[in-house]
Structure 1
Amino acid sequence: MDALAHELLVVADWITSHVTMWVLIATGLFLTVITRAVQVRHLPGMLRAVAGSRAGAEGGISSFQAFAISLAARVGIGNVFGVAAALLMGGPGAVLWMWVVALVGMATAFFEATLAQVFKVRAADGSFRGGPAFYMARGMRSRPMAVVFSVISVVTCGFIITSVQSNAVAGTLVAAFGASGSALPGFGGLSAAQLVVAALVLVLTSVVVFGGVRSVARVTEWLAPAMSLVYVVLVAVICLRNLHQLGEVVGWILSSALAPEPLVGGLGGGVLAAVINGTKRGLFSNEAGQGTAPNAAATATVAHPVQQGLVQSLGVLVDTIIVCTATAFVILIAGPGTWGAEGVDPSTLTTLAVAHSLGGWTVLPMATLIFVLAYSSIIAAYVYSDVNMDYITGGRRWASWMVRVICVLSATAGAVLSLDVVWNAVDIAMAVMTVTNLVALVRLSRWGTGTLRDYESQRRAGAAEPVFVGTGNPNLPADVPGDVWAPTSSTTTTQES
């Protein structure tokens, strides 16, 4: 099994470094150009869209709730472990490349969220469903491509992501609690920390997931912003206590971006290491282009698809520019004494850095925060899995319940099983999802730019809230199938493929 895990790791690293990373960047640059840098021109509009996104749901899922679901998935253990890994292997310069990737990825996030809204359908319960599978089938007329994407999404989000998130937090707690991380007699070598995490995941995930997508929306609406705020405040306290080091930290990042040295000797360094690790971890953290976040974006009730596109684009900025940068600053402020500590690795470095600045009492709060980050990602992954199963089965109720059971069981099992093979397989599965999604974004680029032109023309004409019409719209290459965006869209629509 160890040999298989190693082989999968080698394949995953090669695919990520030689294929996925470059295709993501190229697509992001292409979408930035054809939208005339929508992420820059409409940044004030993004802030306004989020500010007014809690209203107008009309009994469905609000724009802010859909944003919160995707934010819950984005702001996860990747922000803690991933950033630490990027710094260890690529040096401080990796942070600059994370920023660059985020700015480019904002255009990709805008595009995929907008298309998810354009081609969404109304489900039997009155809520909306959409995402890459739906715009592949309804926009590209390629059901086989949509089915492939959906199957991989169900397996990756429902089985793999849920289990690796709980696996990661269980490992962190075992390391944090020392003696309670020792194996208990009669429990097959499992530790108390693992059993506690498994029990908490089972109970907390069941309570939310068995309530369906609306239940997840209600929880993430306050959980995702709250946990992000707590983390940023924690970092702000550390930065304020170390104001004299901030200039030095920024200098490290900028100067080492083109001539970096690794934080720990022998683990990396060099320009290529900074670019690869900063780019890889930035893309993994903010999920732009992976095709996961659009599943949440499509559930929102909005007057115009671009409104949700702007909201989701801002999520990338929050995740990488704010939260990931916060993690990087904490680690860099801690200094070489923490980076080079014996046994340091990505799973413990951030916690050690916080403890270095604020004291050992922070180990428990950090373990709790990491648990919440993982938990929020688990319930968001359920939504992604449910939406794609909904597409595959045509909205069968039994299929939705099966996804809920699978997600809960996978998350619970992840806390107590060794998942080296699963951990190393996730990058391969995500690579297939990502490339498939990016092909669709490029193929449907006229739909995305046309929808943006429609929004901008209405704003120039003085419309406070542009309203999208999918039939007879001169900005679109054709009429949008279905009647969600028809002039009278109060009637419910059935799923179309």
Structure 2
Amino acid sequence: MEFLTTTFEQINSFLWGPVMLLFLLGTGLWLTIQLGFIQVRFLGEGFKRTFAPLFKKQEEDGINSFKALATSISAQVGTGNLAGVATAIAAGGPGAIFWMWISSFFGMATIFAEAVLSQVYKVKKGDQVYGGPAYYIRDGLGSRWLAGFFAIAIIFALGFVGNMVQSNAITVAMNEAIGNHSQFFNVTLGLFIAFFVGLILFGGISRISTFAGNVVPVMALLYIIGSLVILFLHADQVIPTLKLIVQSAISPEAAGGGVLGATIKEAVRYGIARGLFSNEAGMGSTPHAHAVANVKHPAQQGLVAMVGVFIDTVVICTLTAMVVLLTDAHKSGLEASAITQEGFARGLGSFGTPFIAICLLFFAFTTILGWAYFGEVNVKFLFGEKGVPFYRSIVLTCIVLGALVQVDFVWEMADTFNALMVIPNILALLGLTKMIKKTWKTYLHDFR
């Protein structure tokens, strides 16, 4: 296992170095310019379109924007927000959070483009609607082999490896909460999670979106309230901590000394990698949820998609980072979600550990559902309905295995497969920029 972990670390040091920096930030910057800084000028409109369906009766068939976003956020808000932020700080220093912010800012333009393309190139088969990068790569770029490569990458990245990360994080959190570290407990918990995932997953996107629409707002609100309580109790340290994050991103002294290149490199690498794992902008996963939304114009769902990145990274990831840094939990010597748990334990006392374990359980559970569905769409793209039962059985098996493996290995493997998803998706966004701009212009002209 150590050899495999080291191998994936070496692969990721290349993939998540200049290559991914260029692909993600460069594409985000390019789309930001092409769309006239849409995330600054139209984020407010995105919020209006997101929550409007809550205040009126839906007359049309299908899934509305809010439910589609809830499904998207259910996948976005998971271990990346708790364990991912903590590991980013532990490995890259406080400055990694600054690079999370930077990647999320440009990521809002990226995810707008993804959602627009998923709407433009979605297909309907019977009563079901499907869309996502595999479809806009095939039908937009005209490249079947690149679409197939993406489909295979996402099946492994999210359906298999990614869901191992989620169940692993749940297991770690529950172990810390109850003080039980036995393999029997881990297996039992893994089976328990797999059972309930199966019950909902077999109901399809309608059941998943309904579940996400009911659970996601509640779990996010509870987590935000708990975090704000800790920030209030440490109010005098909030501003200094924010300064530390910014200074650590550009100054080796603030980051704790060491060689400039190595210190800043780690902050950038882990900030972008964990930021992507959290908000998924550019990764090509959430477009599968946005494709099923019943909207009058593709750009409407694009604006809604930007809200998902804002909530995920600017709000929830930042709150996690502040709790971890304010309480010095990142210096505890723990790993992944255990660091965040320690932060809440220090901030909220004995209530903190079970609180974060419960939050993580719901965060990771809904993410598993979203990711399993995203992978399933691509199984259907490659093999049709006949491949779905076999795929679902592997997903459920991976959930159980994730509860047993070492945390470092799972995270490193997830980073590798995430990168393999990003590359074909980003190529499609660059190749279809004209279509994205054209769609946006028609919205501005005809729908505002």
TM-score (norm 1): 0.84
The structure with the larger Rg is 1
Q: Is the 8 A contact 2:111 2:302 kept in 1?
A: yes
Structure 1 residue 67, shift from structure 2 partner? 0.8
Corresponding residue to 1:255 among 247, 254, 275: 247
2:359 corresponds to 1:359: no
Q: Is the 8 A contact 2:161 2:414 kept in 1?
A: yes
Q: Is the 8 A contact 1:56 1:302 kept in 2?
A: no
2:438 maps to 450
Distance 1:107 1:176 in 2: 39
Q: Which amino acid aligns with 1:246?
A: V
Q: Is the 8 A contact 1:17 1:280 kept in 2?
A: no
Cα distance 1:267–1:368, how it changes in 2: closer, same or farther (>3 A)?
farther
Distance 2:231 2:413 in 1: 37
Q: Is the 8 A contact 1:232 1:326 kept in 2?
A: yes
Structure 1 residue 266, shift from structure 2 partner? 7.8
1:399 maps to 387
- Of the structure 1 ranges 50-59 and 371-380, higher mean CA displacement relative to structure 2 is found in 50-59
1:145 maps to 146
- Identity, % of aligned positions: 34
Q: Is the 8 A contact 2:138 2:144 kept in 1?
A: yes
Q: Give 1:300-449 correspondences, 5 Å limit.
A: 300-335=293-328, 338-341=329-332, 343-393=333-383, 395-396=384-385, 398-418=386-406, 421-449=409-437
Q: Is the 8 A contact 1:61 1:127 kept in 2?
A: no
2:161 maps to 160
Q: Is the 8 A contact 1:67 1:312 kept in 2?
A: yes
2:96 corresponds to 1:106: no
1:481 maps to none
Post-superposition CA distance 1:110-129 (Å, at most 9, x none): 001100000001122x1310
Q: Is the 8 A contact 1:89 1:263 kept in 2?
A: no
Structure 1 residue 422, shift from structure 2 partner? 4.8
For residue 52 of structure 1, give the secondary structure of its aligned residue in structure 2: helix
2:210 corresponds to 1:218: yes
Cα distance 1:56–1:442, how it changes in 2: closer, same or farther (>3 A)?
farther
1:62 maps to 64
Q: Is the 8 A contact 2:130 2:288 kept in 1?
A: yes
Distance 2:253 2:202 in 1: 48
Cα distance 1:271–1:18, how it changes in 2: closer, same or farther (>3 A)?
closer
Q: Is the 8 A contact 1:87 1:262 kept in 2?
A: no
Q: Which amino acid aligns with 2:288?
A: N
Q: Is the 8 A contact 1:91 1:260 kept in 2?
A: no
Distance 1:210 1:150 in 2: 20
Structure 1 residue 262, shift from structure 2 partner? 7.3
Structure 1 residue 277, shift from structure 2 partner? 2.7
For residue 128 of structure 1, give the secondary structure of its aligned residue in structure 2: strand
Cα distance 1:175–1:45, how it changes in 2: closer, same or farther (>3 A)?
same
Q: Which amino acid aligns with 1:176?
A: A
Distance 1:93 1:318 in 2: 20
Q: Is the 8 A contact 1:260 1:274 kept in 2?
A: no
Structure 1 residue 174, shift from structure 2 partner? 2.4
Cα distance 1:81–1:267, how it changes in 2: closer, same or farther (>3 A)?
farther
2:271 maps to 278
Distance 2:100 2:219 in 1: 21
Cα distance 1:454–1:282, how it changes in 2: closer, same or farther (>3 A)?
same
Structure with a larger share of its residues in helix: 2
Distance 1:308 1:199 in 2: 36
For residue 359 of structure 1, give the secondary structure of its aligned residue in structure 2: helix
Post-superposition CA distance 1:11-35 (Å, at most 9, x none): 1222112312321110100101111
Q: Is the 8 A contact 1:57 1:302 kept in 2?
A: no
For residue 250 of structure 2, give the secondary structure of its aligned residue in structure 1: coil
For residue 257 of structure 1, give the secondary structure of its aligned residue in structure 2: helix
Q: Give 1:106-125 correspondences, 5 Å limit.
A: 106-124=108-126
Q: Which amino acid aligns with 2:344?
A: V
Structure 1 residue 142, shift from structure 2 partner? 1.4
Post-superposition CA distance 1:239-292 (Å, at most 9, x none): 122222222222222333321557788899843333333223222211100011
For residue 122 of structure 1, give the secondary structure of its aligned residue in structure 2: strand
Distance 1:358 1:25 in 2: 37
Cα distance 1:418–1:94, how it changes in 2: closer, same or farther (>3 A)?
closer
- Of the structure 1 ranges 271-280 and 381-390, higher mean CA displacement relative to structure 2 is found in 271-280
TM-score (norm 2): 0.93
Structure 1 residue 407, shift from structure 2 partner? 2.0
Post-superposition CA distance 1:215-234 (Å, at most 9, x none): 11111112222221111111
Q: Is the 8 A contact 1:66 1:300 kept in 2?
A: yes
Distance 1:346 1:158 in 2: 21
Structure 1 residue 421, shift from structure 2 partner? 5.0
Q: Is the 8 A contact 1:46 1:314 kept in 2?
A: yes
Cα distance 1:260–1:86, how it changes in 2: closer, same or farther (>3 A)?
farther
Corresponding residue to 1:82 among 74, 81, 84: 84
